Structure 1
Amino acid sequence: MPIRWSALKVSEAMDMVEELIDQAAEPLEQARLVAIAARGIADIPQYVDERLVHLISSIGRIDHIRSSIKAVRESLPNGAVAEEQHRIKCGDQLALVA
């Protein structure tokens, strides 16, 4: 039974999300390095240091985002994207029934 939603559009959306995440990766890494350096500020109170550790951990979760993108891709029915691409390329045709 064919799916009624567009697996191709979901796949294309994940391509765009992945591209944006890739663009954000370097600035996020720079932010993580700055937060790490901030932990080295002399006489920083422990409660501020704990928040910096949390911030560093949060920035490092970009891998979780990539895992989520992968999970979305893996949830698409096998072959649905290729089938939809083929259908678009060739156009929808009615099957002749004898």
Structure 2
Amino acid sequence: MATTSIADKLAKLEKKIAKREKAIADETKELDKDRAEYNKLYIMFLSDKFKLSGKDLFSVIEREHEQLEKLREGEQSDDDADSNSSVTDDEEKQDDTAVKPSYAFPN
């Protein structure tokens, strides 16, 4: 008798789980639709704000992104150049800060 009770509970839970999985799948599908609509409206808003067509807006964003990437690469290059400075550069820095006598030796 206890076996039947457990089997009944398992069957009920299986139905409950299946029902919830379907509800989650439906909600996920609805959420994806809402996100797509939100993104579409946001692009339309930006297009109106900057007075650009969708294609022109995409081109501007793409160009700005490329410039940002170039800047990032440039920053890394500058950092690399600083870390790889030669001894000559260090000596020049020391010469700039060294105390120099105000007198000259006679020839």
Larger of the two Rg values belongs to structure = 2
When normalised by structure 2's length, the TM-score is: 0.34
